[in-house]
Chains A and B, each alone.
Chain A
Amino acid sequence: MPRIRVGLLLAATIVAMTSWIIAVRFVRADVSDATTAQGLAAWEQVYSVLTHPRCINCHTATNYPQQGDDRHRHVANVVRGPEDKGVPGLNCAGCHQETNADSTGVPGGHNWHLAPLSMRWQDINDRPLSSGEVCRAVTDRSKNNNLDGPGLLKHNEDEPLVKWAWNPGRRPDGTMRTLPPMTHEEFVAATRRWVEAGTPCPATR
């Protein structure tokens, strides 16, 4: 009787393992396809925020920032400077203080500066790059300050200048600056979905 029990146990284990292997393989294949597609969809949501003027105005490929919803070149000929913080006579932080100045219409946030050129999301003619190009730039650890998926998520969640986009203050004429196309919470959630899917990038050039 014991030999039959061991055999049965072994067979059951083998069947179970095989089933598990089969199940997991097939299920994972279904989950991978679904996850990638969902991840790409989540990325498109992230991309729609990144290319909104509140974000992309400081992610230029040129030596100047932009301003306004029409993304015109920033007044007073301010330039990037060697450390993306302006130049001695025209420092970003000289005008852009720690918080928004609503009475004078100048936005503010901690450490106001231009994104480095490695994180440009436009071409030199001020046209936004494609979804694929931006995705590849954002996920390239040699360009993105060595951030992995969780690092990117934390950046989008906590970085003051990122959060500024949802509290951009008033223009000089007193009107509120326009906000990105979704709330910050939704943006973070989309980022999370995208990260959990392995930060897939669309194949677009």
Chain B
Amino acid sequence: MVDSFRPADQHELSRRSFLGVSFAAASGLFVSLYLDPDSIKKVLAQEGPQPPTQAKVYPPDAFVNIRPDGKIVIQVNRLEFGQGVQTALPLILADELDADWANVVANLAPAADVYKDPMFGIQMVGGSGSIAHSFQQYRELGAKTRAMLVAAAADRWGTSADKIRTQASMVHGPGGQSATYAELAGEAARKPLPDKVRLKNPAEFRFIGKRVKRLDSRAKCDGSLKFGLDLDVPNMKVAVVAHPPVFGARVKSIVDEEARRIEGVREVFEIPLAKGTGVAVVADKFWPAKQARSQLKIEWDFTGVERPDSAELWTRYKQLGLTAGNVAVSNGDANAVDKIAASNRIVAEYEFPYLAHTPMEPLNTTVRFDGDRAEVWAGSQFQTFDQMAVAEVLGLKPEQVTFHTEMAGGGFGRRAVADSHVQREAAAIAKRLRGTPVKLVWTREDDVQGGYYRPMHFHRIEVGIGPDGLPLAWRHVIVGQSILAATPFGQMLIKNGVDQTATEGTADTHYNIPNFHVSVHHPQVNVPVLWWRSVGHTHNAFVMETLIDELATRARTDPIAYRRKLLKPEAKKPLRTLDLLEQASASWRNNLPKGHALGVSCHESFDTGVACAVDVSIESKRPKVHRATIAVDCGLAVNPLTIESQFQAGVGFGLTQLMAKGAITLKNGVVEQRNFDGYVPPYIVDAPVTVDVHIVPSTEAPTGCGEPPVPVISPAVVNALARLTGKRYRTLPLVNI
């Protein structure tokens, strides 16, 4: 079989790509980031008449450029921000194309209709969907391009396509003829686009499934690769913005004499922000801009602005957690837990703080406004939205805005913001500077204090345990702001008052728990919130995997065996990963040195199953993770090297949640942390020393690996700590062990 994912034909592609019609903010059209295809169909069925189904053709020439010198330039329809997509998508295409990998060059595509995600209809990266959504697409693009080259050769040599074979950017004819792709490219481009193409059998793959090294390594190691922040456009100015100390406040007055006296400072003026207003400082270079900003004396107007306070929020959240909210899932008897003897009940309360993403490259965007057109350079996860936002601010149509996608130094969701607030700031400044490009830079302080955090959450769970030690009843209340409410898709995607980005990982659990009741409260708080790598799974997986582990300990059962017992039989991926984990960790799991303990977790997110075992001790009052063994089921492993890297490193990212100073807190409306001195992510000493990754062999459709590493690590480490200290850790970050 070729693949069990989707049959290779254009008709199938177009059915799914009806979402690819143009996005209109005010109309009923919407895009979903989190619904699977079945749910999209269901929701659309409720909306009445369907939007017109358009056959979406992905023209190969928008994706592949075979240059006369033999280089094959492949356009990547998503941002590269570390996950390796600018190697993975080209290798998929190059495989079907039979290209010479040594001559493949990847390019991050600018914003354009043709580069929209086939599932979601917007150009974006997120939801761990790059491979899952574009695997088929890029295979077809490669196969079609090859077919056109073969057709050109067939013409040239007066033979038929079936007598021609291709290999490493060369075409070979039946009579010993040969030609390079570069030589045939011109003729091939004139060939009609084939309706159907044959895709390779997995046995024929040359790159897919192999450990292929990244294309961008060298340039990232010698300082030559330019990120958005490195951009240097002729006549460019640099701007920083003074943001209000409380979200949504407005400028009342500005005293800027001292600021303007700094050499190199050009302009100081008020600009609108996504909420409230701020003050832009424009200078020739970054340093004078930053100096000038610190010299500004700004008076703010806080009228009507809510001042969120972490202590107050906890009180409010804990109160809400005592009663059921909007029901996300209700199986069996919602009150079953009340009927279970107290000695067989656990009541657990969990606290999760706001988290900032803090990607290494500070946020930035460069814009030039020329009156009837504009040009934007940004490392954006949301090109379609950002392009529209810039157009709106400048009074242009999106197609009048050329939007370049720059390499980004990390994102983790922070560069995917539906309100495009950074781009809007940059556009507002560019508008004033008409004709002069401006690079807007957010300092690290702007970033740490600038909002768009993983929301704060409170969980209250009551578990009733059956005589077999398995949970018999589970009543779970989640409290946390809705991420989707702040986006254009909020109206459509929040059903029955439940934002599933807050419940994912719990509501959709694979554990077979009778009398399972999950509800959620979504308080409104004046703090902008956003998806943080793995989103709802960040807190839900922590709760599930620590509570399940606690039950396993109570039942005196091995943590892997317990989970295996409790998982539904149809939870194929989690079960496979547990089996593989058991094997892969057999050599060390049960003979740890004194002072070390084992921690286990198992969680599926974004259709990828992951099981994790860690070896942890306590050093200098912190958890020291000596080793992590990880088993992954992500369907067909397109690039096992990337997958290994993603999991080895992703767990290091996941440990942000446990860091002693890994929390954003607010006091009287003001964020208390400023930079990496107050908000401290994991350094090398905090990350696992070694991580070995094992991939379940599979031919199923490939699923994502960007986010799945994150949810498993924190609960696994804390489960190990629980064995070492006998304590339960339900409040993050981990301050006292």
CA A75 to CA B674, docked complex, whole Å = 13
Task: Verify B294–A174 contact, CB threshold 8 A.
Answer: yes
Partner of B685, one of A75, A77, A174: A77
State the Cβ distance, B444 to closest chain A Cβ, in Å. 11
Could you say which residues of chain A place their CB within 8 Å of the CB of B294? Answer: 174
- Of the four ranges (under 10, 10 to 19, 20 to 34, 35 or more), the interface on chain A belongs to under 10
Task: Verify B683–A77 contact, CB threshold 8 A.
Answer: yes
Could you say which residues of chain B place their CB within 8 Å of the CB of A174? Answer: 294
CA A174 to CA B685, docked complex, whole Å = 31
CA A76 to CA B684, docked complex, whole Å = 11
State the Cβ distance, B295 to closest chain A Cβ, in Å. 10
CA A51 to CA B147, docked complex, whole Å = 79
CA A75 to CA B294, docked complex, whole Å = 23
Q: Mark A51-77, 1 if CB is under 8 A from B, else 0.
A: 000000000000000000000000111
Could you say which residues of chain A place their CB within 8 Å of the CB of B677? Answer: 75
Q: Mark B677-707, 1 if CB is under 8 A from A, else 0.
A: 1000001010000000000000000000000
Decide yes or no whether B157 CB sits under 8 A from chain A.
no
CA A41 to CA B677, docked complex, whole Å = 39
Could you say which residues of chain B place their CB within 8 Å of the CB of A75? Answer: 676-677
Q: Mark A72-96, 1 if CB is under 8 A from B, else 0.
A: 0001110000000000000000000
Of all chain B residues, the one with the shortest Cβ separation from A64 is B620
Residues from 150 to 185 in A contacting B, C-beta threshold 8 Å: 174
Of all chain B residues, the one with the shortest Cβ separation from A103 is B291
CA A76 to CA B676, docked complex, whole Å = 9
Could you say which residues of chain B place their CB within 8 Å of the CB of A76? Answer: 683
Of all chain A residues, the one with the shortest Cβ separation from B291 is A103
CA A76 to CA B685, docked complex, whole Å = 11
Could you say which residues of chain B place their CB within 8 Å of the CB of A77? Answer: 683, 685
Q: Mark B288-311, 1 if CB is under 8 A from A, else 0.
A: 000000100000000000000000
Could you say which residues of chain A place their CB within 8 Å of the CB of B685? Answer: 77
Of all chain A residues, the one with the shortest Cβ separation from B675 is A172
CA A76 to CA B677, docked complex, whole Å = 8
Residues from 420 to 475 in B contacting A, C-beta threshold 8 Å: none
CA A75 to CA B676, docked complex, whole Å = 8
Of all chain B residues, the one with the shortest Cβ separation from A67 is B677
State the Cβ distance, B662 to closest chain A Cβ, in Å. 15
State the Cβ distance, A202 to closest chain B Cβ, in Å. 32
Could you say which residues of chain A place their CB within 8 Å of the CB of B676? Answer: 75
CA A76 to CA B661, docked complex, whole Å = 13
Of all chain B residues, the one with the shortest Cβ separation from A72 is B677
State the Cβ distance, B676 to closest chain A Cβ, in Å. 7
Of all chain B residues, the one with the shortest Cβ separation from A79 is B685
CA A174 to CA B295, docked complex, whole Å = 10
Of all chain A residues, the one with the shortest Cβ separation from B686 is A77
Q: Mark B37-51, 1 if CB is under 8 A from A, else 0.
A: 000000000000000
CA A75 to CA B685, docked complex, whole Å = 13
Q: Mark A128-170, 1 if CB is under 8 A from B, else 0.
A: 0000000000000000000000000000000000000000000
CA A61 to CA B685, docked complex, whole Å = 20
CA A53 to CA B294, docked complex, whole Å = 27
CA A174 to CA B293, docked complex, whole Å = 13
Residues from 279 to 329 in B contacting A, C-beta threshold 8 Å: 294
State the Cβ distance, B735 to closest chain A Cβ, in Å. 13
CA A75 to CA B683, docked complex, whole Å = 11
State the Cβ distance, B72 to closest chain A Cβ, in Å. 40
Of all chain A residues, the one with the shortest Cβ separation from B677 is A75
Could you say which residues of chain A place their CB within 8 Å of the CB of B683? Answer: 76-77
Of all chain A residues, the one with the shortest Cβ separation from B680 is A75
Highest count of chain A CB atoms <10 Å: which of B294, B676, B677, B685: B677
State the Cβ distance, A88 to closest chain B Cβ, in Å. 15
State the Cβ distance, A107 to closest chain B Cβ, in Å. 15
State the Cβ distance, B737 to closest chain A Cβ, in Å. 15
CA A196 to CA B516, docked complex, whole Å = 80
CA A174 to CA B294, docked complex, whole Å = 9
State the Cβ distance, A172 to closest chain B Cβ, in Å. 8
CA A5 to CA B489, docked complex, whole Å = 123
State the Cβ distance, B286 to closest chain A Cβ, in Å. 13
CA A13 to CA B194, docked complex, whole Å = 132
State the Cβ distance, A41 to closest chain B Cβ, in Å. 39
CA A77 to CA B683, docked complex, whole Å = 8
State the Cβ distance, B291 to closest chain A Cβ, in Å. 8
State the Cβ distance, B722 to closest chain A Cβ, in Å. 25
CA A101 to CA B294, docked complex, whole Å = 17
CA A76 to CA B686, docked complex, whole Å = 12
Of all chain A residues, the one with the shortest Cβ separation from B295 is A174
Of all chain A residues, the one with the shortest Cβ separation from B287 is A103
State the Cβ distance, B188 to closest chain A Cβ, in Å. 52
Residues from 624 to 677 in B contacting A, C-beta threshold 8 Å: 676-677
State the Cβ distance, B288 to closest chain A Cβ, in Å. 12
Of all chain B residues, the one with the shortest Cβ separation from A75 is B677
State the Cβ distance, A11 to closest chain B Cβ, in Å. 78
CA A151 to CA B701, docked complex, whole Å = 77
State the Cβ distance, B363 to closest chain A Cβ, in Å. 20
Of all chain A residues, the one with the shortest Cβ separation from B661 is A72
State the Cβ distance, A54 to closest chain B Cβ, in Å. 18
State the Cβ distance, A105 to closest chain B Cβ, in Å. 11
CA A77 to CA B676, docked complex, whole Å = 12
Of all chain A residues, the one with the shortest Cβ separation from B684 is A77
Of all chain A residues, the one with the shortest Cβ separation from B683 is A77
State the Cβ distance, A114 to closest chain B Cβ, in Å. 17
State the Cβ distance, B433 to closest chain A Cβ, in Å. 27
Residues from 577 to 618 in B contacting A, C-beta threshold 8 Å: none
CA A40 to CA B683, docked complex, whole Å = 46
CA A54 to CA B324, docked complex, whole Å = 53
State the Cβ distance, B682 to closest chain A Cβ, in Å. 11
State the Cβ distance, B128 to closest chain A Cβ, in Å. 31
CA A77 to CA B686, docked complex, whole Å = 11
State the Cβ distance, B259 to closest chain A Cβ, in Å. 14
Of all chain A residues, the one with the shortest Cβ separation from B685 is A77
State the Cβ distance, A199 to closest chain B Cβ, in Å. 36
State the Cβ distance, B622 to closest chain A Cβ, in Å. 11
CA A77 to CA B677, docked complex, whole Å = 11
State the Cβ distance, A76 to closest chain B Cβ, in Å. 8
Of all chain B residues, the one with the shortest Cβ separation from A63 is B620
State the Cβ distance, B685 to closest chain A Cβ, in Å. 6
CA A76 to CA B675, docked complex, whole Å = 12
State the Cβ distance, A63 to closest chain B Cβ, in Å. 9
State the Cβ distance, A44 to closest chain B Cβ, in Å. 33
State the Cβ distance, A61 to closest chain B Cβ, in Å. 13
State the Cβ distance, B517 to closest chain A Cβ, in Å. 44
CA A162 to CA B683, docked complex, whole Å = 32
6 contacts between A and B (CB under 8 A): A75-B676, A75-B677, A76-B683, A77-B683, A77-B685, A174-B294
Top 4 nearest A-B pairs (CB, nearest first) are A75-B677, A77-B683, A77-B685, A174-B294
